[in-house]
């Protein structure tokens, strides 16, 4: 079955450490996205990529970094510069055609020890 | 910039009640509109969509109509079930863009 796989489901980080969240899709989608979700709030866009080797900052990119070396993969690194990293992180992908819906993974919950 | 406003939750209903979750938007141009649903501990699933004015999206008994004159896309269901308990998000996608702008979400709880 085609879909988006995020791993791990739960992740713990010590203060001052970088941590990388994995996102893989087998939907053959060109575009991929990372969102952050905080309790009782909507989703906020961190980074997005419309094609391999290209990505753009979203609304809250500070303290995060991404890469897009392969079409299937869009890992997100939460750096030590991100002061409040505890959140639920969601990865999504979509076809490049206009107005296509985004398909979401099941998320990674990041907590600080 | 573009924005989406949803009715504040939480919303609690009894099984078989009628559901309305209000959603209004502000956008330049004519965006596509979406409703997503999120079950506990999971990602978002597309529930329905509409791409132009007066379009009606429908799925699993849920409906929403794209109203340009009132800039609204309210979600409705005639008879809710316990299994409909989830968080519902309204979102828009600008014409010519792939980014989604989400509302804050509305938590729905259905009691038996």
Instruction: Summarize pLDDT for B76-112 with one digit per residue, the tens.
Output: 999 999 999 999 999 998 766 678 999 999 999 999 9
User: Is residue A87 predicted with pLDDT exceeding 70?
Assistant: yes
Average pLDDT (B21-50) is 93
State which residue of chain B sits closest to A109, comparing Cα positions. B41
pLDDT value, residue B97: 66
pLDDT of residue B99: 83
Record: contact A42-B93, CB cut-off 8 A: no
Nearest residue on chain B to A46, judged by CA atoms? B99
> Residue B50's CB: how many other CB atoms inside 10 A?
21
Residue of B41, B93, B103 with shortest CB distance to A99 = B93
- How wide is the angle at C-alpha A30 spanned by C-alphas A29 and A34, nearest 5°? 90
In chain B, what residues touch A39 (CB-CB under 8 Å)? none
Nearest Cα of chain B lies from the Cα of A15 at a distance, in angstroms, of 25
**Contact assessment for residue A35 and residue A45, using Cβ atoms and an 8 Å cutoff:** yes
pLDDT in tens, B55-78: 999 999 999 999 999 999 999 999
Q: Three-state SS for B49? A: strand
Best probe of the A interface among B30, B36, B41, B43, by most A CBs < 10 A, is: B43
Phi, psi for residue B84 in degrees, rounded to 5: -80, -5
Q: Radius of gyration (Cα) for chain B, nearest Å?
A: 13
- A106 interface with B at CB cutoff 8 Å: yes
Put residue B73 in one of left, alpha, beta given phi > 0 → left and psi -120 to 50 → alpha: beta
Nearest to A11 by CA among A57, A73, A75: A75
User: Is A21 in CB contact (< 8 Å) with chain B?
Assistant: no
Touching check for A103 and chain B: CB below 8 Å? yes
Burial A77-89 (b: 16+ CB within 10 A, else e): ebeeebeebebbb
Token reading at A31:
């575009």
Looking at residue B29, what is its pLDDT? 82
> Chain B contacts of A43, Cβ < 8 Å?
44, 89, 100, 102
- Is A35's pLDDT higher than 80? yes
Mutate which of A31, A101, A109 to test chain B, going by most B C-beta atoms within 10 A? A101
Arithmetic mean of pLDDT over chain B: 93
Among B34, B99, B104, beta carbon nearest to A45: B99
């Amino acid at each position: 079955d085609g879909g988006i796989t995020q791993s791990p489901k739960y992740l713990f980080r010590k203060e001052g450490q970088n941590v990388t969240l994995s996102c893989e899709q087998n939907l053959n989608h060109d575009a991929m996205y990372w969102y952050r979700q905080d309790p009782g709030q909507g989703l906020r866009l961190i980074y997005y990529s419309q094609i391999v080797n290209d990505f753009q900052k979203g609304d809250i990119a500070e303290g995060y970094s991404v890469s897009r070396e392969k079409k299937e993969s869009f890992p997100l690194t939460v750096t030590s510069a991100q002061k409040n990293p505890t959140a639920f992180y969601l990865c999504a992908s979509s076809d490049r055609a206009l107005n296509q819906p985004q398909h979401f993974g099941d998320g990674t919950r990041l907590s600080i020890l | 910039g573009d924005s989406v406003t949803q009715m504040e939750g939480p919303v609690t209903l009894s099984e078989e009640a009628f559901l309305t979750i209000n959603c209004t938007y502000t956008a330049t141009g004519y965006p596509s509109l979406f409703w997503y649903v999120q079950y506990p501990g999971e990602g978002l699933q597309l529930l329905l969509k509409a791409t132009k004015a007066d379009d009606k999206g429908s799925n699993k008994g849920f409906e929403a109509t794209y109203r340009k004159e009132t800039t609204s896309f309210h979600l409705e269901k005639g008879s809710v079930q316990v299994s409909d308990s989830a968080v519902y998000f309204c979102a828009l996608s600008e014409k010519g863009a792939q980014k989604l702008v989400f509302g804050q979400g509305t938590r729905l709880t259905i009691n038996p």
